[in-house]
Chain A
Amino acid sequence: MLDFLASVGRVFIGFLSASGRLAIFTLTALSHCFRPPFYFRLIGRQMIDIGYYSLPVVGLTAIFTGMVLALQTNTGFSRFGAASATATVVVLSVTRELGPVIAALMVAGRIGAAIAAEIGTMRVTDQIDALSTLSTNPYKYLIVPRIIAGLVTLPILVLVADIIGVFGGYIVSTYKLGFNPATYLHNTANNLTSIDVFSGLIKAGAFGFLIALMGCYHGFHSKGGAQGVGAATTYAVVSASVMILLFDYLLTSVLF
C-alpha cells in the first residue's frame, strides 16, 4: 500500500515539476517577446516555413474535410427532411471548429516535429550553448521568432483552410448531391456571421502559439543524443495535439 502511495506521489510530483518547468519556460519566452533585439528576418523565415510550406497539406486536408462533411451532413439531415441545411452546417462546422482544429493538427505534425528536431539537435550538439557564448540569447534567437510566427501565421492558414473547406462542401453539394449553386452560396453567406469566422481565428492563434511552444520546449530540453531528439519530437507532437484539443474545448466554452 505504501509503495502504491509512493508511486502515486512520485508521479504527482513529476507532473507538478514538469508543469512548473513549462510555466517558467513560457513566461521567459513571453517576456523576451517584448524586449529587443527583435530578429525580424528570422520571424519572416519562420512564417514562410510554418505558413507557406504548410499550405499544400492544410489545403488538401481542408478540401477533403469539407467534401466529407457535405456528404455526411446531407445523409444525416435528409432523414429529418432538413437536407437544405447542409450549406449552413458545412460553413459553420468548418469555420468554427474543423478548419482551426484540422489545420492545427496537421501543422502540429509537420511544424511541431520540425521545430523540436531542429532545436533538439542544436541542444545536443552544443549549438545552443554556442549561441550564449556569442552574446546571443537563445530565447530571443530561437524561441521568440517561432512563437510569434506560429501565433501570427496559423490564423492566416486557417482562413485559407476555411475558404478551401467551404469550397469542398460546395463542390460535392452542387455536383454530386444536386444542390442549386446559387441557393447553396446564398445559404452559406446568409447564415455565416463574423463571430463564426473570428472565433475560429482566435482559436487558430492559440493553437499556433501552443504548437510552437511545445516544439520549442521539448527541443530546448532534449538530451541524450539522437534518441533524445527523437523523444523530444514525439513529445512535441503528442503534447501539442492534446493541448490543441483541450484548448479547443476551453476556448469554445468561453467564446460561445
Chain B
Amino acid sequence: MSDAPKISVRGLKKSFGRKVVLDGIDLDVGVGESVVVIGGSGTGKSVLVKSILGLIDADQGSIKIDGEEVTTLSRGHREALLGKFGMLFQGAALFDSLDVWENVAFGLIQGRGMERNKARDIAMAKLGAVGLGPEVGELRPSELSGGMQKRVALARAIAAEPEIIIFDEPTTGLDPIMGDVINDLIVKCVRDLGATAISITHDMASARKIAHRIAMIYKGRIIWDGAPAVIEHSGNAFIDQFIHGRADGPIQMEIRAL
C-alpha cells in the first residue's frame, strides 16, 4: 500500500431537510486497502458511499479520488470517473429483464462498448470466479437464491476489473455460512484485483474478515478508526456497545412507543 490515499474524504456534510445525516466525515482509504465502515441503521453509511460515487451531491466538504477533487466535477466527468468503481448493492440490484450473464457483462457492453461475445466470455469467467457455473449465466435473476444473487452481483462488480470496489451490506439477509462464503469471495476478489475496497456493514463477523481497517460512524461522524485486531480493546464505549450488540450504552436507539 502506498502512502497517498486512493480516496480522501474531508469535512463531508449532507442533510435531508432538517435531518443531518453526515456531519463532517473525515476518512482516508489507501491504495489496495480494505476499509469497513460500521454503524447502526440510519447513521449515514449508505449516504457516505453514495456521495463518494457521486450518486448523491454532498452539501459541503471534499472528496478526492487519486488526488482529484470530484465534488466539483461536471456530470460528464463524474460518469467517466465511475469507470474506476465497482459496486455490490445491498439488495444485489440485478436487472430483472436481463439474463444473469448479461447482468455481469452489462458494464462491459454498455459502458465500454465491448463486443457481446467477448463480454459474454468474460462474464462466464467472472461467474466461475465466484463459484457459479456457466448454466447459471443463462438464468434470470429471479430464478436465483439470495446467496446466488449476491455472488452474481459480486461478479458484476468485479467484471470490469475496477480500481475501487464498494460493498453495501454484502452479507445482509444471508445465512451465516453463505455470509462467510461471500466474505471469502470478497477477500479473494479484492486481493486478486489489487483493488481498494470500502464496505459498509453492521455484521461484525464480516467486518473482521474483510477489513484491513474498521471505521465506526455515529451521528454523521467517524468516532473511531482502527485495525480489526484492536477493536475488542478500543476503550471506546460506543464501539464496545456496537460490537457486542448491547441495548444499554451511550448509543440510544430512537424507539417510539406504539
Binding site for B on A (CB under 8 A): 37, 121-122, 125-127, 129-130, 132-137, 141
Contact = CB atoms under 8 A, between A and B. Distances in A.
A129 B55 contact: yes
B95 A130 contact: yes
A130 B79 CA distance: 12
30 contacts: A125-B91, A125-B93, A126-B89, A126-B90, A126-B93, A127-B93, A127-B95, A127-B96, A129-B53, A129-B87, A129-B89, A130-B87, A130-B93, A132-B54, A132-B55, A132-B79, A132-B82, A133-B53, A133-B82, A133-B87, A134-B106, A134-B110, A134-B160, A135-B82, A135-B83, A135-B110, A136-B106, A136-B111, A137-B79, A141-B110
B85 interface: yes
B39 interface: no
Interface of B: 50, 53-55, 79-80, 82-83, 85-87, 89-91, 93-96, 106-107, 110-113, 156, 160
Nearest to A35: B76
Contacts of B95: 122, 127, 130
A125 B113 CA distance: 25
A37 B50 CA distance: 25
Contact of B111 (A121, A127, A134): A134
Nearest to A141: B110
A135 B55 contact: no
Given A135-B83, A137-B79, A129 B50 contact: yes
Given A125-B91, A129-B89, A129-B93, A134 B53 contact: no
A137 B80 CA distance: 11
A135 B111 contact: yes
Contacts of B156: 134
A130 B83 CA distance: 12
A37 B79 CA distance: 13
Nearest to B90: A126
Contacts of A132: 53-55, 79, 82
A228 to B, nearest CB: 15
Contacts of A37: 113
A132 B80 CA distance: 10
B71 to A, nearest CB: 16
Nearest to B107: A134
B94 to A, nearest CB: 8
A31 to B, nearest CB: 11
Nearest to B86: A133
Contacts of A137: 79
Contacts of A133: 53, 55, 82, 85-87
Given A135-B82, A135-B83, A130 B89 contact: yes
Contacts of B160: 134-135
Nearest to B159: A134
Nearest to B53: A133
A129 to B, nearest CB: 5
Nearest to B95: A127
Contact of B112 (A126, A127, A130, A135): A135
Query: Of residues B80, B95, B96, B110, which shows the largest number of chain A Cβ atoms within 10 Å of its Cβ?
Result: B110
A134 B82 CA distance: 7
B89 A135 contact: no
B49 to A, nearest CB: 10
Which 5 pairs across A and B sit closest by C-beta, in order of nearness? A135-B111, A134-B107, A126-B93, A130-B93, A133-B87
Contacts of A127: 93-96
Contacts of A130: 87, 89, 93-95
